Amino acid sequence: GSSMSSNNGSRRLSSQVAESFFRSVLGQMETVYLNRNPTPKSVLELVRSLDGNEQLCYDHLAFRTFGIGGYGIDSLASFFLDYGYTQMDELKFPAKKLRALWFAPPDDSALPCGSGVNGPLPRVFISELLVEQMTSQAQDVIRKYTEASPGGKKYAALSSALGILPWEKPLSSEFEQLARESEYAAWTLVNGYALNHVTISVHRLKSHLNKIKKLNQFLEEKGFKLNSEGGVLKVSPDGGLLQSSTVADSISFKFSDGVVKSIPCSYIEFAERLVLPQFQNVPESDIKESHRRDGFEVGNADKIFESTYQEQLSRRTG
Ligand code: OOG
Ligand code: NI
């Protein structure tokens, strides 16, 4: 913006928490994610080592929620808004009965040089299931768990950082029932506020992997399975936002009836943001993130959601 405050602290609102606290919470969410999902863990290690262990930046973090009884987007958004994030655009997915909002980080005038959650703050993408559009049977299951723990929504960020569900574990039959109607709903019932994915900022890598086509090819050669829904590479209509993702890992989950099943967990995404047409003449060394295509794209996101769907998980490699 135009504010040239020399003291970043003076722009802080009273509700803001310390930066070290905020980043530590993100770090705990990331730790839960890395401990549960071997694919994102090894992809991050591999990309980091091939990139000369330089700074690796996250483009965004993503979460899923149930849009009912205060458990929706707002329950988690408050943590980011309190830190100074700004609510940006809404994205609608009527066929999937979902909507999403994304949030832009506050200006990092200090230009942090750490990696991941200690680097430039990521965008945040939070979606919610439009619960009232589901069948009454599916609504009954979702209400049963959310209404029985009315306080859970207040501790969304805590639940995510600790890696524990804010409601009781469901019956395996309830998980199956939701999955038949919405794989997103079933995922959210058993994963709660767990980090759904982190996204590597591809254009900010230092190596030749900083082109998403090269990175996708490299990862497939290494045997990683990428989400192929609508094609591996998702491109926005304006051509400026290119995304791809792995297929979600699975984790063994013990349901309240004692049944143990493999359930989809999280995945890792890759995003390349191209320089906007109006900044084509800016010298490469002066290009900042603000010169690049910002935001998200409904057509890309619609396919990326399917990274946790059975059809992608059970696909044969290649
Ligand atoms: C989110 C899918 C969309 C993006 O970057 O557009 C997305 C999800 O799977 O919950 O991540
Ligand atoms: Ni994403």
Look up the CATH number of the domain holding residue 44.
3.10.180.50
304 lines ligand 1 (CB under 6 A): yes
Find out whether 71 and 139 touch, Cβ atoms under 8 Å.
no
Residue 195 is predicted with a pLDDT of 98
Residue 131 has which token pair? Answer: 């619960």
Atom of ligand 1 nearest to the CA of 60: 5
220 inside domain: yes
Find out whether 30 and 58 touch, Cβ atoms under 8 Å.
no
5 inside domain: no
Query: Average of pLDDT values for 108-136?
Result: 92
One-letter identity of residue 195: L
Q: Which is nearest to 264 in space by CA: 280, 247, 281, 276? A: 247
User: pLDDT category, 12, cuts 50, 70, 90?
Assistant: low
C-alpha 250/C-alpha 261 separation (Å) is 10
296 inside domain: yes
Residue 111 is predicted with a pLDDT of 76
First vs last C-alpha separation in the chain = 46
196 lines ligand 1 (CB under 6 A): yes
Query: Average of pLDDT values for 282-288?
Result: 96
C-alpha 11/C-alpha 1 separation (Å) is 12
Mean residue pLDDT of the chain comes to 94
127 lines ligand 1 (CB under 6 A): yes
Residue 6 is predicted with a pLDDT of 40
C-alpha 34/C-alpha 267 separation (Å) is 10
Residue 11 is predicted with a pLDDT of 52
135 inside domain: yes
The Cα angle at residue 269 between residues 103 and 223, in degrees rounded to 5 = 175
275 inside domain: yes
2 inside domain: no
116 inside domain: yes
274 inside domain: yes
One-letter identity of residue 267: Y
pLDDT greater than 50 at residue 1? no
Find out whether 198 and 267 touch, Cβ atoms under 8 Å.
no
Looking at the 3D structure of the chain, how many domains does it have?
A: 1
Q: Which amino acid residue places its CA nearest to atom 1 of ligand 1? A: 305
Residue 108 is predicted with a pLDDT of 76
One-letter identity of residue 91: L
Query: Does ipTM exceed 0.90?
Result: yes
Parent domain of 198:
15-313
For β-strands 241-245 and 267-273, DSSP reports them as antiparallel
